[in-house]
A and B are shown apart, each in its own frame.
Chain A
Amino acid sequence: MYTDEKHKNNNQSERNLNPAPVGLYLNNARLAFSNIPIFENLSAEISAGKWTCILGPSGVGKSALLRMIVGLGPKDPVTEISASDGSSLTEKISWMAQQDLLLPWLSVSKNVALGSHLRGIKPNKEKVSSLLNDVGMYKYCNDLPKILSGGQKQRVALARTLMEGRPIVLMDEPFSSVDAITRSRLQELAAKLLTNRTVLLVTHDPLEALRLGHNLFVMSGKPAKLGPVMQPADNIPRDPSNYSLQKIHSSILSQLETAVTESK
């Protein structure tokens, strides 16, 4: 009996760390401000356990799309968002923003455990420590975020996102505010730690999308549409100097270029 119980607990915590992949169906997504549509009729499948990247020029509505999915932005009644396995989406999605959003009065480890703290549950301390270890920030666990650099803060934010243990992670240009080397390290770290999660990453950086995306879409136009899916080969994180990526890179650039000229 006792061992059974223990086994079950172990199972549960493992499932929390590595949830079964769940994809997303986006059907007929629509967003309009004062009746001018930003995007409409937008449908896409966000494949389970894969990285999907949406590229687009600023102001095209990619962030708004992400916020709509996570439940922060306005959602038109015609929009349907559902999980690929038909289950409910509550408590399945976590969100990582462009800013680290660390609370300056909480220590690094308390910031990682923020979700439990806010829901009034006792955080799993070992999980916090092991995640901080994974992102290489364990030695700062008792420090306040103000002593950290931008890249270190994003590492902590990544650990906080993982701590939520949710199968779907939405990222809104989370690596765009750090320098190129730090960005590349963060991308590698995220690719490693988010294996088997469903990730939807919004970015304006084609190289980032090429490094991390299994499925790439370009979002452009007014109202915005998603372009055809592009699927580079190889495992992520890819080496951006990889020759086979050049063709996709130029295709992305030409799509973005048309988008920018059209909007002018």
Chain B
Amino acid sequence: MSRIRPFIILIGLLVVWQLIVTFSQVAPFILPSPLSVLVSAMDRIDELAKHALITTLEIIIGLFSGTVFGIISALSMVYFRPARSWLLPVLVVSQAIPVFALAPVLVLWFGYGLLPKIIMATLIIYFPVTAALYDGLRRTETGWLELAKTMGASRFSTLWKVRLPSAMPAFASGLRVATAVAPIGAVVGEWVGSSAGLGYYMLLMNGRVQTDAMFAALFILAIIAVSIYFLIDKVLRKCITWQTESNSSDQI
């Protein structure tokens, strides 16, 4: 039951949507019916796949580089005291300035290709990953650290073999949040300036009043975002088996 529940909800929403369209007689360019969206998606499957591939690529590369930068920053903030005072403002600024405001500048600097979108996705991902891992690294159980000290472990070895593994659950939460918001960076970048990607395609179809194609692109974007999230979630669960969940029955 719990497995098919999301699908029941989805089908229910689609039925409601179809009923609204049928009974309110709203113009198709305002709200196309789910059926016409499906037909439109089938017609343009090649085009949509091409754009979807590019957006997926931007999200995944952004996710990867944001995570790598986040891990490096968090580790250096814990290991080198001076790095903390230098990196913390950068961290806050990276989140305080809206990517929407940066997007035009990044497009101006890096052109219409993949790079500005990847940078935007990276910027969005960087903060949750760094903040979560940094927090996790600082909250290692003191007993473990003391034990490591009595065993003659170096600072680096303690960081690498005690602090880092113990911070993995916190890091996983950060990465989950990051995965959920990563598509925002890519799509905003595509809106501001690009020649490919689902965001670009949606704007294009919007301009041509082909609302059904726009909805089709939107759905594909949602499917991509949800799939990446569940994939990452699954990998994280596989890797961090030692974490005991206090209430294992309410897993997502």
Contact A119–B151 (Cβ < 8 Å): yes
Q: Is the CB of B161 within 8 A of A146?
A: no
Q: Are A72 and B242 in contact (CB under 8 A)?
A: no
Contact B143 A105 (CB under 8 A): no
Asked if B227 is at the interface of the complex by the 8 Å CB criterion, the answer is no
B143 touches A91 (CB 8 A): no
- B144, CB-defined interface residue at 8 Å: yes
Let me know if B143 and A97 touch, CB within 8 A: yes
Which residues of A in the span 151-202 have a Cβ within 8 Å of any Cβ on B?
Answer: 164
Task: Please tell me if B45 contacts chain A, counting CB pairs below 8 Å.
Answer: no
Residues A118 and B143 in contact, CB atoms below 8 Å apart: no
Known contacts A118-B157, A119-B157, A146-B242: A103-B151 contact under CB 8 Å: no
B153 in the interface, Cβ–Cβ < 8 Å? yes
Complex interface: chain A residues within 8 A of B157 (CB): 118-120
Interchain nearest-CB distance for A1 vs B (Å): 33
Cβ distance A256 to chain B, nearest Cβ, rounded Å: 27
Residue positions of A touching B, CB distance < 8 A? 70-72, 90-91, 93-95, 97, 99, 101, 103-105, 114-115, 117-120, 144, 146, 164
Residues on B with C-beta less than 8 A from A164 are 151
Q: How far is the CA of A95 from the CA of B148 in the complex (A)?
A: 10
In the complex, residue of chain B having the shortest beta-carbon distance to the beta carbon of A170: B150
5 example contacts (A-B, Cβ-Cβ < 8 A) are as follows A71-B150, A97-B143, A117-B161, A120-B157, A146-B242
Within 8 A of A (CB), among B144-201: 144, 146-153, 157-158, 161-162, 165-166, 168
Which B positions have Cβ atoms within 8 angstroms of A? Answer: 141, 143-144, 146-153, 157-158, 161-162, 165-166, 168, 240-244
A15 to B94, CA, bound (A): 57
CB-based contact A118/B146 at 8 Å: no
CA distance A210 to B248 in the complex (A): 44
A115, B162: Cα distance in complex, Å = 12
In the complex formed, the residue of B with least CB distance to A116 is B151
CB proximity of A64 to chain B, nearest CB, Å = 13
* Contact for B168 among A70, A101, A105, A120, CB less than 8 A: A105
User: Given A117-B161, A118-B158, A118-B161: A103 and B144 within 8 A (CB)?
Assistant: yes
- Residues of B within 8 Å of A103, CB to CB, are 144, 162, 165-166
Quote the shortest CB–CB distance from B146 to chain A (angstroms): 5
- CB-based contact A94/B150 at 8 Å: yes
Question: Cβ of A99: which chain B residues have Cβ within 8 Å of it?
Answer: 143
Bound-state Cα–Cα, A217 to B151, Å: 27
> CA separation between A101 and B162, bound complex, in Å?
11
Picked from A71, A117, A146, the residue with its CB within 8 Å of the CB of B244 is: A146
> Which has the most chain B C-beta neighbours within 10 Å: A72, A90, A105, A164?
A105
- For the complex, give the distance between the alpha carbons of A120 and B157 in Å: 8
Expressed in whole angstroms, the minimum distance between the Cβ of A108 and any Cβ of chain B is 12
- Are the C-beta atoms of B150 and A118 separated by less than 8 Å? no
What's the Cα separation between A115 and B151 when bound, in Å? 6
Rounded to whole angstroms, the CA-CA distance of A146 and B240 in the bound complex is 13
Q: Closest CB of chain B to A255's CB: distance in Å?
A: 30
Q: Given A105-B168, A144-B242: A72 and B151 within 8 A (CB)?
A: no
